[in-house]
Amino acid sequence: NAGVMQNPRHLVRRRGQEARLRCSPMKGHSHVYWYRQLPEEGLKFMVYLQKENIIDESGMPKERFSAEFPKEGPSILRIQQVVRGDSAAYFCASSPQGQNYEQYFGPGTRLTVT
């Protein structure tokens, strides 16, 4: 009965490099949400995906950030040319079909940009 899985748990990147964060939803869940948490702040919605579809990306920065949830494999949040301000904890949540309200979070990926 595995929960939401995220990897890596910790990621260090230098400015200008790319960061790839992976999320495997709970078994039977087909919806994935990505949130970002800055230090001492609440979580902020970034993007909502279903298999092969981006449903809502209203919280995604317009540049450098992209997300996908392919038919096979995990969802990926990609940050190109990272800057220090991208340092944060990135959480993925999944929910079952028809019950989007009940979102279950993974342990997060803590990105540090040096």
Q: Rule CB under 8 A: which residues touch other proteins?
A: 4, 6, 33, 35, 40-45, 48, 55-56, 58-59, 91, 93, 95, 100-108
84 vs 101, beta carbon nearer other proteins = 101
CB of 71 to other proteins, least distance (A): 21
Those residues whose C-beta lies under 8 Å from the C-beta of residue 57, and which sit 6 or more positions away, are 46, 47, 48, 67
CB of 94 to other proteins, least distance (A): 11
DSSP string, 73-89: S-EEEEE-S--GGG-EE
- Residue closer to other proteins, measured from CB, 15 or 44: 44
- Supply the DSSP symbol for 58: T
Q: Distance of alpha carbon 109 from its chain centroid, rounded?
A: 8
Half-sphere exposure of 53 (CA within 13 A, CB side): 6
Q: Which is nearer to other proteins, 9 or 15 (CB)?
A: 9
Tell me whether residue 55 or residue 83 sits nearer to other proteins (CB atom): 55
CB of 82 to other proteins, least distance (A): 22
